[in-house]
Amino acid sequence: MKGMMIVNFKTYEEGTGKRGIELASVIEEVSKGGGTEIAIAVQPTDIRTLAENVHIPIFSQHVDPITYGKHTGWILPESVKEAGAKGTLLNHSERRISFEIIKRSIERCREIGLQTVVCADTPETVKKIARLEPDLIAIEPPELIGGEVPVSKAKPELIIRSVEEARPFGIPVLCGAGIKTGEDVRKAKELGVRGIIVASGVVKSENPKEAIKNLLEGFG
């Protein structure tokens, strides 16, 4: 594989319900035969419907470290897996959780075979999380998320240090925040990441198909 891209639908209207199916279908069409794995991170309530309509990997945007029982309002890892999710995001800047909860969530997901992509905001956090052995770590400085300047250009040293901190543990790193073009991706790859995580650059684009194609060019 040339790399990996995760498109985070967040709770944008363009990525919710029927519109989410349309967007996922476009992403799946563009991803075929390209050599880059493209996954989508969606609201737990949309997982089952999307899994019935597309075949690209689906990640929940969050799960909780619980088991079957009395946990009203929490997100059970078994439920998102049964609905069709391959994995989950954890600790996104818009849904921060404590280190202890990260640890317990990774353990729960590992028990049932859900992949984990854990977000971090600094290289120091990357190192701390890497010790927990998630499947992937995504470095995203919050101040650049949704902005016009990509992290690969604004803070290349942050990406380099994050990759270095994760390397001894064998954990691949993704990067995100402000990435919108193939050039942004190319630069990020040069800095050592496995791939990228994007949101508004695709989901809020007037032409998501062209946005994805542009990003894929950066993978070579």
Which residues are catalytically annotated? 92, 140
91: left (phi over 0), alpha (psi -120 to 50) or beta: left
- 8 A C-beta contact, residue 166 and residue 123: no
DSSP string, 101-151: HHHHHHHHHHHHT-EEEEEESSHHHHHHHHTT--SEEEE--GGGTTSSS-H
Do residues 141 and 126 touch, judged by C-beta distance below 8 A? no
> Residue 198 is inside which H or E element, if any?
strand 195-198
Conformation bin of residue 178: beta by default, left when phi > 0, alpha when psi is -120 to 50: left
